[in-house]
Chain A
Amino acid sequence: MKLALGPLLYYWPRQQVFDFYEAIAHAPVDIVYLGETVCARRHELRVQDWADIAKKLAAAGKQAILGTQTLIESESDLKTLRRVTEETDFPIEANDMGAVRLLSAEQRPPSTGLRTGFIAGPFLNIFNAATLNMMARLGAVRWVMPLEMSAAALADLQAARPAGLETEVFAYGRMPLAFSARCFTARRFNLQKDDCQFKCLEFPDGLLIRTREGEEFLTLNGIQTQSSKVYNLIGEVDAMRDLGVDILRISPQSQHTQALLDFFRQRIDGTLDADAARNGMATLGLAEPCNGFWHGKAGLEQIAAQAAAR
C-alpha cells in the first residue's frame, strides 16, 4: 500500500505553503495531491506556483498530482480548470464531471501527445461497478472512494474493479462533507463572498461550529463544510489492505501532518501495531476521531476496535 497526502483544503499564507511542501519532500509519503480545490478566490498560490511545487516534489521522488476545483460556477473557474487539465507534466485529479470531460481519453486521444490517465476524485460519486468501469474506459487510472462509502460497499466494487485501476481511500482528516455557493466563513463575519477579506487565512484548520450545548459539530472552511471530528482509519489499515486498497490518503493539517504520515507509514509497513499507533496519535492532542462511514454507520460515530474486529 502507498501513502498519499491529499490536497491542502485550507487557505494558508503563501510562504507557509511553500515551507509545508518543502518539509513534505522529505516525508515518508509516496503521492502528493496539490492545487486549490476549494475556492477560486484563494490566490496566495496560482496554478503555476502549484506546478512549481509539483516539480520539486517530483524531483524528490514523489508522484505529484494537480487537483481541479470541486465546485465550478463561472467561466473564470472554467478557465482555471482548463489551465490545470492542460498541464501535461503531472497527472490530474478530476473533482467534477467537467474535469472528467476535459481529461477523458475521447477528448484527448494519445495522438495529441497529452497524457490521458487521470484520477477520479472523491466527489465524483462513484458508487457502483458500472460507473467505475466507465471512468476506467474514459481514462481513469485511479479512483478515490466517496467519503460516505462503507467497507462493505467498497468490497463489492473492488470485486468488480477493472484491471489496472488503483483504489484510494480517504483515511485521515476532517471530512469535506459539503460544498456550497455560499461562503460560510465570510458569513460568520457578515461579509459577502465577493468581499470576503480572505478571512479563511485566519483559520488554518477551519472554523469550528458547536451546537448550542457546546458540542463540537462541524468545521467551516469557506464554501466547504467539514466534520469537526477527524476521520481516522488507523485501526482499519489491515482491513483496507485485505480489500485490495492501494493508497491511503491523509488530509493536510496545520499541525502534526508529518507525525500522522509517520504513524500511517509504520502501520502500512507493519512496524507498529494498531493499538500502539492509536495510543501514539492520542498523545498529539488531535480532534476526536470517528470512523462511522467505514463501518456503514453515521459518519460521526467511532466504532471501537473490538467491535470492529472481524
Chain B
Amino acid sequence: MLSNKPFELVCPAGALPALKAAVDNGADCVYTGLKDNTNARNFTGLNFDDAQLREGIRYAHDRRVKVLLALNTYPQTATWGRWTAAVDKAADFGVDAIILADPGLMEYAKTKHPQLRLHLSVQGSATSYEAINFYHEQFGIQRAVLPRVLAMPQVEHVVQNTPVEIEVFGFGGLCVMVEGRCALSAYVTGDSPNTVGVCSPGKAVRYEQTPEGMETRLNGVLIDRFAEGEKTGYPTLCKGRFEVNDETYYAIEEPTSLNTLELLPKLMDIGVKAIKIEGRQRSPAYVAQVTKVWREAIDSALRNRAGYAVREAWMAELNKVSEGSMHTLGAYYRPWK
C-alpha cells in the first residue's frame, strides 16, 4: 500500500518520459490518459498504450508514487464500451484511482470495481459541496478536483462541508470557463472537450502572414493578429483579441497561466488535500522543472508554514519554462472575476 501524504503534489504525465520526469522530481501522484478520446488531453503523440501504462505504473509504484488515470470525457451511447473497457483496464492494471466526469461511468465503476478509488474530474463541473456530496453519496467518490472558478474563501467553505478530499489546480494552463461547461471549441471547430477531449485542436489552426500581420485562425475564424515584433500565440479561442463595442482587447482572457505558489500555505491551512499541475501536453523537461520547484515549495511549507515565502529562484525556474508568459492567481483572487 502506498503511503498517504498530508498534502499531495499531482503532476501531469502525458507520456512515459514525462511520467518518469515527474516521479524522479518529487511528484506524489502522476495522472495519465489512454491513447483515445476517453481523456481530456486527446492529442496526437500523447498518452499511453497498454505496455507504456504497465511500465509507468511499475516505475511509479517502485518509487512509491501513485498513478491516476483520467477517463474524464463524456462517453456517448454508441461508443460506451470504449469507456467501460478503459475502467476495466484501470482496475486490471492496478492504477491507484481513476478520474471521471460522467455519472453513468461512475456508476459502472462503482458496481463493477467497488475497490477502485474514484476521483471526480474537474470536467464534472462540481463547484459546490452540494454537487460534490451528490457524487459522494451516489458513487463514493473520494476526491474532487475543483473547477478554476472559486475564490479562496469559497474553496475553504467547500472543504468544510464535504467528506470528500479536495484537489485544486495550482499551476499551468488556465481555463477561464467552468470546465465541463464550455462548448466554445465545439461551436467553432466541432471538437469538444466534453466528448472528444480536445479544445481548439491543432488540425483546425492556421497561421497566415498578411500585410496586417501574422494572423491565427481556428476553423477560419480570426482569433488574433500579431504586429511585427509581437510574439505569436497559439489560437486558443478564449485567449484571442476581439472587438466589443469598437474596443479591441482580450475580451475573455489574456494568454496567461495560473501560478498559485504564493497561496500554498493558505491552501494547506484550509484543508486542501492536493494540488494539481496542469500540462499533460507539455514536455518531460517542463514537467521535471515544474515538479522540482513545487516539490521544494511544498516541502518548505510543510516544514514551516508560517515562515514560508516564495523564493525568487523558484519563480525564475518557472518563468524559464513558461517562456516569460504572464501569471495570474485566477479566481482564487477575487478581483480577477
Contacts and interface: CB of A to CB of B under 8 A. Distances in A.
The DSSP consensus for interface residues of chain B is: mixed
Interface string B257-275: 0000000000000000000
Given A184-B252, A298-B186, A125 B102 contact: yes
Given A127-B75, A214-B243, 7 more contacts: A101-B134, A127-B74, A152-B78, A194-B334, A210-B243, A211-B223, A211-B240
A206 to B, nearest CB: 11
B222 A96 contact: no
A97 interface: yes
Given A129-B77, A160-B77, A193-B337, A212 B183 contact: no
A-B pairs, 3 with minimum CB distance: A130-B104, A98-B130, A181-B149
B131 A98 contact: yes
A211 B222 contact: yes
Contact of B188 (A128, A159, A298): A298
Contact of B183 (A75, A177, A209): A177
B302 interface: no
B221 A187 contact: no
A53 interface: no
A17 B159 CA distance: 38
A24 B186 CA distance: 33
A153 B177 contact: no
Interface in A173-205: 175, 177-184, 187-188, 192-194
A102 interface: yes
Given A73-B150, A225-B177, A215 B221 contact: yes
A133 to B, nearest CB: 8
Contact of A156 (B77, B128, B223): B77
B284 interface: no
A105 to B, nearest CB: 12
B336 A130 contact: no
Interface stretch (B190-198, B291-299, B311-319): B190-198
A207 B251 CA distance: 11
A175 B186 CA distance: 12
What's the interface size class on A, roughly? 35 or more
Nearest to B223: A211
Contacts of B238: 178
Given A156-B77, A178-B183, A211-B242, A74 B154 contact: yes
Interface in B304-337: 331, 334-337
A70 B125 CA distance: 10
Contacts of A192: 334-335, 337
Contacts of B182: 177-179
A interface: dominant SS: mixed
Most chain B beta carbons < 10 A, residue from A133, A178, A192: A178
B251 A220 contact: yes
Interface in B191-246: 192, 194-195, 219, 221-225, 238, 240-245
Contact of B243 (A73, A130, A212): A212
Contact of A78 (B101, B130, B184): B130
A300 interface: yes
**Which one of B176, B243, B253 has the greatest number of beta carbons of chain A within 10 Å?**
B243
Contacts of A64: none
B187 A213 contact: no
B241 A227 contact: no
6 contacts: A75-B157, A128-B75, A129-B77, A175-B183, A180-B177, A209-B251
A139 B167 CA distance: 30
B247 interface: yes
A72 interface: yes
A181 B178 contact: yes
Contact of B149 (A100, A125, A180, A210): A180
Contacts of B157: 74-75
A179 B178 CA distance: 6
B145 to A, nearest CB: 14
Given A181-B337, A225-B252, A212 B222 contact: yes
Contacts of A175: 183, 187
Contacts of B59: none
Nearest to B130: A98
A297 B99 CA distance: 28
A277 interface: no
A293 interface: yes
A175 B150 CA distance: 24
Contacts of A70: 181
A179 B331 CA distance: 13
